[in-house]
């Protein structure tokens, strides 16, 4: 019997890459900074990057360093230094030479396709701009899908600034409201999300506190943005939190793609009052 290449192994292979294509039940991808609120003259952060089940222990595969970009408060690129990829996690440093808020992000604007050529099942993945020449003539059963994934964290040296939070206009982004490095337990934060540059209304968002290993209940918060794209969260306690939103829509940039998988992940640090 001819074995058909199903989508599952494709997803598994891609899950270990920078692409966030796995369905909601699969592992969590995250970056964990050594601190988000920093002071001093020679300021550095070290970031762990992994794909795992646990929050925030690394026990599955590392996140790939390629595609992780740091942006300084003035909008210019900042260096990712001392990068290393081990068995369960990648780790890297960023020197915060400017005062203000830095963004460290891994953005995946990808297309993947499956097709049949001469009886063989083939697959392709790459950027939307490269797709025009991707599928050879004579291919059949072409199945194209797009991904707009963003995994980002914010860290601040000194007083928080807003420049790096401006929307890029593609995918789901956290662009307004309470500054992500100004979070305190017991206080309510309001986060403003944008989808392709416009308010992201009625998006389901999941927030999970770290430290899962040491308790029975997951304690996840299932929230939803309102019609203006705003989300309210009151933090039960201090610690690191994982926030994720994931859904499919049909707003693809490649016309052959019927579906786009949109995802957003961030790690938020909540301090005690």
Partner 1 sequence: MRNIRFKTTATLAGGIATLAAAPALAAGAEISVTIPQLKVAEYHRPYVAIWIEPKAAGAVRNVAVWYDVDMKNNEGTKWLRDIRGWWRKTGRTLTMPVNGVSGATKAPGTHKIASPLAGLAPGSYELVVEAAREVGGREVVRVPFSWPAKAPATAKAAGTAELGAVSIALKP
Which residues form the interface with partner 1 (CB under 8 A)? 35, 37-43, 158-160, 182, 184, 271-273
**DSSP alpha helix (H) spans, the chain:** 7-15
Q: How far is the CB of 177 from partner 1 (least distance, A)?
A: 17
Residue nearer to partner 1 on the CB measure, 106 or 157? 157
Q: Which C-beta is closer to partner 1: that of 181 or that of 263?
A: 181
Helix (H) or strand (E) holding 120: strand 120-127
Work out how close the CB of 82 gets to partner 1 at its nearest, in angstroms, rounded to a whole number. 19
- In the complex, least distance from residue 235 CB atom to partner 1, rounded to whole angstroms: 14
Structure tokens at 142: 């072409």
What is the dihedral sign for C-alpha 154, 168, 106, 223? positive
CB of 73 to partner 1, least distance (A): 13
Preceding omega of 35 cis (within 30 degrees of 0): no
Q: Among all chains, which residue has been given the structure tokens 């291919």?
A: 139
SS3 string, 133-155, reads: HCCCCCCEEEEEEEEEEEEEEEE
Cβ-Cβ contacts under 8 Å for 263 (sequence gap 6 or more): 20, 147, 148, 149, 150, 172, 244, 245, 246
CB of 35 to partner 1, least distance (A): 8
Q: Which residue's CB is nearer to partner 1, number 5 or number 159?
A: 159
Smaller CB separation from partner 1, 54 or 182: 182
**Nearer Cβ to partner 1 (146/156):** 156
């Amino acid at each position: 019997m001819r074995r058909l290449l199903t989508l599952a192994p494709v997803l598994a292979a891609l899950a270990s890459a920078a692409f966030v294509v796995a369905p909601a039940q699969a592992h969590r991808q995250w970056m964990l900074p050594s601190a988000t609120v920093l002071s001093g003259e020679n300021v550095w952060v070290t970031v762990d990057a992994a794909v795992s089940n646990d929050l925030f222990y690394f026990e599955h595969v590392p996140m790939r360093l390629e595609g992780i970009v740091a942006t300084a408060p003035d909008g210019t690129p900042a260096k990712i230094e001392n990068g290393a990829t081990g068995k369960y996690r990648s780790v890297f440093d960023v020197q915060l030479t400017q005062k203000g808020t830095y963004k460290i992000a891994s953005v995946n604007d990808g297309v993947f396709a499956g097709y049949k050529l001469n009886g063989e099942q083939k697959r392709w993945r790459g950027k939307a701009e490269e797709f025009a020449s991707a599928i050879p003539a004579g291919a059949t059963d072409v199945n194209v899908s797009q991904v707009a994934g963003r995994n980002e964290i914010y860290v601040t040296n000194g007083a928080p600034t807003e420049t790096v939070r401006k929307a890029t206009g593609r995918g789901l982004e956290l662009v307004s409201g309470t500054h992500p490095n100004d979070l305190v337990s017991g206080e309510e934060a309001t986060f403003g999300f944008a989808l392709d540059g416009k308010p992201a209304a009625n998006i389901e968002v999941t927030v999970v506190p770290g430290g899962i290993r040491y308790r029975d209940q997951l304690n996840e918060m299932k929230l939803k943005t309102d019609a203006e794209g705003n989300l309210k969260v009151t933090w039960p306690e201090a610690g690191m939190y994982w926030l994720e939103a994931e859904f499919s829509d049909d707003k693809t940039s490649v016309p052959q793609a019927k579906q786009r998988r949109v995802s957003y992940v961030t790690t938020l640090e909540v301090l005690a009052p």
